[in-house]
Amino acid sequence: MQKAFGRDEFDSAYDEIQAAARTASCAPQQIYSFSMECGHPNPWYHAVAVSVEGMQDQEYDQFFGAR
């Protein structure tokens, strides 16, 4: 994320994730939650956990299709 958005630009990254979720889903309302896991010294293993409530399974598959 830092490579794509810059240092400490989490809000920009989250905005992009939300935009992608809205594109993948036709749900009228979605609830997002983000959590960073970076409590360890190795930056290669930092992660952002994303939860989107209001998506159907097929929409989730489309949203995370690049896995």
User: Is the overall model pTM greater than 0.75, yes or no?
Assistant: no
Total domains present in the chain: 1
pLDDT at 54: 84
Per-residue pLDDT of the chain (67 residues; tens, 9 = 90+): 667 777 777 778 888 888 888 888 888 888 888 887 777 777 677 677 888 888 888 888 888 774 4
- Domain that residue 43 falls in: 2-63
pLDDT at 4: 73
pLDDT at 67: 44
Q: List C-alpha distances in Å: 16 to 23, 36, 39, 53.
A: 11, 16, 24, 17
Structure-block tokens of residue 16: 């992009």
Contact present, 33 and 25 (Cβ < 8 Å): no
